[in-house]
Chain A
Amino acid sequence: MTVKFEEGIETEIEVRDLNLWYSDNHALKNISIEIPEKCITAFIGPSGCGKSTFIRCLNRMNDLITNCRTEGKVLVKGENIYEKEVDVVNLRKRVGMVFQKPNPFPMSIYENIAYGPRIHGERNKKKLDQIVEETLRSAALWDEVSDRLNSPALDLSGGQQQRLCIARTLAVKPEIILLDEPCSALDPISTSKIEDLMMKLKNNYTIVIVTHNMQQAARVSDYTAYFLLGELIEFGTARQIFEMPREKSTEDYITGRFG
């Protein structure tokens, strides 16, 4: 499904005829979509519609699930990430992911950020210090933690932990950030901080977010895709989807008539 993007915006991820099965369960059916660069694209739909499964296809997180079989193509900047020779670790460096529940490593704040660059080969302490500061600043967390970088990350509040996870993703310089319901475990203040952060990050990164919060999708996303029973039903600008959806099923879902 394609949408005419605003002028000057190119396609970052192109998905062609993607099908996915968990054993016999056909969880994604012929999904084709083009996701624009440096924009926020939201996936919405009722529980079990396949939106989380789909976002996990974009950096091959589903490879980790037994009995999961995928067919079709996912092209990131034109390159099919499902080719055999693709280095999955490197792919996940390019396409970072943040999950519903903040999951900092049981280490210090500093080590959480330095961990990624270090396993990708960065050993220089000064360089690591610089990455930690830069990414914590980008994630709007620096001012809150700069005086306690060596404290355990798990001592942070939920909202701070989630921003730390975003910072950890940024530390390895990704091109795309996938957020799977990043605010559903957070209070409204922390949610609003994450939303502000997303708006800032979209200047430099392509952001894809799965959210159950319709108002959040309407507030932050530039483009919105609606999924139902494993199918992509409608894709359009957020304004079009939330103001005048074309499909009745989209309308029924976003106005709370089912789902």
Chain B
Amino acid sequence: MGEISQRTIIDSVEALRTLDVELAREVMERDPVIDSYEMQIEKCATRLLALQQPLARDLRLITSSIKIAIDLERMSDLAANIAEITERIEGGHVKPLVDIPKMAEIAEDMVKNAIKAFDTSDVELAKAAAAEDDQVDKLFSDVWLELIGMMIEDPVIITNASHLLFVLRYLERIGDHASNICESVVYMVSGERVDLN
């Protein structure tokens, strides 16, 4: 589930950058697959809770897994939203997309490391992954201001530029979900509840 979610983030932005409608549809078609993974994890976790009444690290593993699955599912929803925007851009982008793919790369790296931290119970890696969110947030506000400036100068681009504002917002939310996964990993390993956002 983690792997598909990572790929979906990158592919959704690649589809948008190159205005590749084909790839965008493929990304959207992955959404039900990811939803079914989430449902499977939830079912399995509920069954374990009901039948085994787990405690301590077993309990933390199960509650963290439920939360992580929800975060991954939400990320994929947001990636699908980005893919949808590909179809709405008319007549090309208002500017070449450089920073938006960079945001997607960082978000993907966060998810990759968060999942690795989950696999290896590595608190330090989880914390380092969450720290990358600052870069996503910085790019979000820089590009946001840039686009607003461009819209003021040339109102003709407002429709396409506002689509990109949504993309920025979706990527910023993806970064937050990745941080949430890191928090769940820290809790799973140490029992400590931390705020890494």
Chain B: interface residue total (CB-CB under 8 A)? 11
B57: CB under 8 A from chain A?
A: yes
A154: CB under 8 A from chain B?
A: no
Query: Is A244 within 8 A of B55, CB to CB?
Result: no
Query: Is A245 within 8 A of B56, CB to CB?
Result: yes
Q: Type the 1/0 row for A5-28, where 1 means its CB is closer than 8 Å to any CB of B.
A: 000000000000000000000000
State A243–B57 Cα separation when bound (angstroms): 7
Q: Given A243-B191, A244-B190, A244-B191, decide whether A215 and B60 contact each other with a Cβ distance below 8 A.
A: no
Query: Is A255 within 8 A of B55, CB to CB?
Result: yes
Query: Is B57 within 8 A of A255, CB to CB?
Result: yes
B58: CB under 8 A from chain A?
A: yes
On chain B, the residues within 8 Å of A245 by CB distance are 56
Query: Is A242 within 8 A of B55, CB to CB?
Result: yes
* Minimum Cβ distance to chain A for residue B85 (Å): 43
Chain A: interface residue total (CB-CB under 8 A)? 12
Q: Contacting A242 at CB < 8 Å: which of B52, B56, B190?
A: B56
Q: Contacting B60 at CB < 8 Å: which of A218, A243, A250, A254?
A: A243
State A28–B127 Cα separation when bound (angstroms): 44
Interface on chain B toward A: helix, strand, loop, or mixed SS? helix
State A214–B59 Cα separation when bound (angstroms): 13
Q: Type the 1/0 row for B156-187, where 1 means its CB is closer than 8 Å to any CB of A.
A: 00000000000000000000000000000000
Query: Is A251 within 8 A of B53, CB to CB?
Result: no
Query: Is A255 within 8 A of B53, CB to CB?
Result: no
State A255–B56 Cα separation when bound (angstroms): 7
State A243–B191 Cα separation when bound (angstroms): 7
* Minimum Cβ distance to chain A for residue B67 (Å): 15
On chain B, the residues within 8 Å of A243 by CB distance are 55-56, 59-60, 191
State A234–B53 Cα separation when bound (angstroms): 21
* Minimum Cβ distance to chain A for residue B57 (Å): 6
* Minimum Cβ distance to chain A for residue B159 (Å): 51
Of chain B, the residue at the smallest CB distance from A214 is B55
On chain A, the residues within 8 Å of B53 by CB distance are 214-215
Task: Count A-B contacts at CB 8 Å.
Answer: 28
B54: CB under 8 A from chain A?
A: yes
Interface residues of A in 228-259 (CB under 8 A from B): 242-245, 250-251, 254-256
State A259–B57 Cα separation when bound (angstroms): 17
* Minimum Cβ distance to chain A for residue B55 (Å): 5
Q: Type the 1/0 row for B30-70, where 1 means its CB is closer than 8 Å to any CB of A.
A: 00000000000000000000001111111110000000000
Q: Given A243-B59, A243-B60, decide whether A255 and B54 contact each other with a Cβ distance below 8 A.
A: yes
Query: Is B60 within 8 A of A255, CB to CB?
Result: no
State A75–B56 Cα separation when bound (angstroms): 32
On chain B, the residues within 8 Å of A218 by CB distance are 55
On chain A, the residues within 8 Å of B60 by CB distance are 243-244
On chain B, the residues within 8 Å of A244 by CB distance are 56, 60, 190-191
Which of A214, A242, A244, A250 neighbours the largest number of chain B CB atoms within 10 Å of its CB? A244
State A256–B57 Cα separation when bound (angstroms): 11
Of chain A, the residue at the smallest CB distance from B54 is A255
**B→A interface (CB under 8 Å):** 52-60, 190-191
Can you list 27 A-B pairs, Cβ within 8 angstroms, ordered by A?
A214-B53, A214-B55, A215-B53, A218-B55, A242-B55, A242-B56, A242-B59, A243-B55, A243-B59, A243-B60, A243-B191, A244-B56, A244-B60, A244-B190, A244-B191, A245-B56, A250-B56, A251-B56, A251-B57, A254-B55, A254-B56, A255-B54, A255-B55, A255-B56, A255-B57, A255-B58, A256-B52
- A-B pairs, top 9 by smallest CB distance, nearest first, are A244-B191, A254-B55, A242-B55, A255-B58, A215-B53, A251-B56, A255-B56, A254-B56, A245-B56
